[in-house]
Amino acid sequence: EKNATNISVSFPLARIKNIIKLDKEIKVVARPALMAITQAAQQFIESLTSIAFSEMLKGKRKSLRLSHLEAAVKRKREFLDFLDESMDI
């Protein structure tokens, strides 16, 4: 889907909006904010999986595993620090 500024997103906007609204303090999500959050989430997932994929190739594996994601988090610590609490690494 594209908005007026031609930002392309492939995540389902309705699902992202529902996730945002899980925060009880948020009542309304403006479309520009929704598009920005969706784009940021998409770029984050692409970056994380790209790094994990390179870890997978480095280990000569054919399938992506949790250990590859953990290695990606360790490798790119500066922008993935918040995941420390989510993963046992």
What is the DSSP annotation of 43-70?
HHHHHHHHHHHHHHHHTT-SS--HHHHH
CA distances from 62 to 32, 35, 45, 53, 69 (A): 39, 34, 20, 10, 14
- d(CA 37, CA 58) in angstroms, rounded, equals 32
pLDDT at 75: 83
Predicted confidence pLDDT, tens digits, the chain (89 residues): 555 455 667 888 999 999 999 999 999 999 999 998 998 888 888 888 999 999 999 999 999 999 999 888 888 776 666 666 565 55
Prediction pTM value: 0.70
Domains contained in the chain, CATH given: 13-22+29-86 (1.10.20.10)
